[in-house]
Amino acid sequence: MISWRYHVVSLVAVVLAFGLGILAGTSVISEGLVKEIERNYSEALQQRDVARADAAFAERFIQSLQPTLRDDALLGEGGVVITLSGVDGPSQRAAQELEAAGVEVLATLSLTRSLAETETQENASALESILGLPAADPEDLREAIAGALAARLAEGVLPGDDDVLGRLLEEGFVTADRDLDAAGLLGIGGAGQLVVIAAGGAEPAGFPTPEALLLPLTDRLVQLGVPTTAAGPSEDDYGFVTAVRGASEIPDCSLVTVDDLDLEGVGGITMVMGIDRFLADDDPLFLPGADYGVRGDSMMIVAGADEPPQSCRT
């Protein structure tokens, strides 16, 4: 909000200066009007300077809180970040904030568009082979993909077992931010590992919606008891976090959602505090998840700001 205030005031100052230059060059302008415009221009500059000072103070204040509220708050935890290629901007921020909190981020996995575009015969045939399924319609195939990936992340894989994640990586349906050999794949998934699904921003034309893959994957992870977080930016035309919050099949407070991950300092602190609270779960009467951020459908800005609503009661 401070950032917008700064930009608006700066714009007003520029417009006033432009108008003053035009009016001062005419012969029909009164001296009183010129002085009024000059006074308004001076006030606009002063407001701009105040906004700049406010923004700088807020940034310094937030940065001073990071060592206490974020750094090493999740020390000893491990997990993965998942995103969808094409709306993967928030994934890098998510990984950075998790690592600052002490989480061992084992990999950032990007699900490709091909994984969601099961109407294409070539994609469908390859995925049916990987999943060991007979011919399936596109929607059933996407559901099967979400279920198989969620189970793989929830349970892990044993040496020698057929690894669906490994097959998806080999076939190019999933990419990773690092080379994952057999040992690396064995470390991904299993009880207690965190999963943060981070996606959002501008929606590319003709792009698969969250309902095509990310939403059912989130639903399956929650059903399997995986500590799950859905995160996105404050300006999000793609709408992943909004879709998760509005999904009737995902119970309120069964996961952490964050809609302001991109806000410098604030978003990372919010996500880490929300996950920490989720893992602590010291109130047996309520589910430990919550909706955090700045949009109207958020429960609270940061963890602990408000009591959980009745919809979170177990």
118: which 2 tokens? 């099961």
CA distance 86 to 284: 39
Q: The pTM is what?
A: 0.81
- Give the pLDDT score at 282: 75
- Give the pLDDT score at 46: 78
Which residue's structure tokens are 């929606």? 203
Least Cα distance to 168 among 77, 88, 85 occurs for: 85
74: which 2 tokens? 């999740």
308: which 2 tokens? 């959980």
Fill in the DSSP letter of residue 207.
P
- Give the pLDDT score at 10: 56
From first to last of its 314 residues, the chain has per-residue pLDDT tens of 445 444 554 545 554 455 555 555 554 556 777 777 778 878 877 777 776 665 555 556 566 667 778 899 999 999 999 999 999 999 999 999 999 999 999 999 999 999 999 999 999 999 999 999 887 788 999 999 999 999 999 999 999 899 999 999 999 999 999 999 988 999 999 999 999 999 999 988 889 999 999 999 999 999 999 999 999 999 999 999 999 999 999 999 999 999 999 988 788 999 999 999 999 987 778 888 999 988 866 666 566 666 777 778 76
- Give the pLDDT score at 5: 47
CA distance 290 to 218: 15
Least Cα distance to 272 among 92, 88, 69, 89 occurs for: 69
Least Cα distance to 284 among 259, 264, 314, 257 occurs for: 314
CB neighbour list of residue 205: distance below 8 Å, 6 or more residues apart: none
- Give the pLDDT score at 299: 61
- Give the pLDDT score at 13: 52
List, as one string, the DSSP characters of 66-117: HHHHTTTTTTT-EEEEEEETTS-HHHHHHHHHHHHTT-EEEEEEEE-HHHH-
CB neighbour list of residue 110: distance below 8 Å, 6 or more residues apart: 82, 83, 84, 85, 88, 91, 174, 175, 176, 177
Helices (H), 132-180: 138-155, 164-170
- Which secondary structure element, helix H or strand E, spans residue 231, and what is its range? strand 228-231
Decide: residue 193, CB within 10 A, 0-12 exposed, 13-18 middle, 19+ buried: buried
- Give the pLDDT score at 1: 44
- Give the pLDDT score at 54: 52
- Give the pLDDT score at 258: 95
209: which 2 tokens? 């919606």
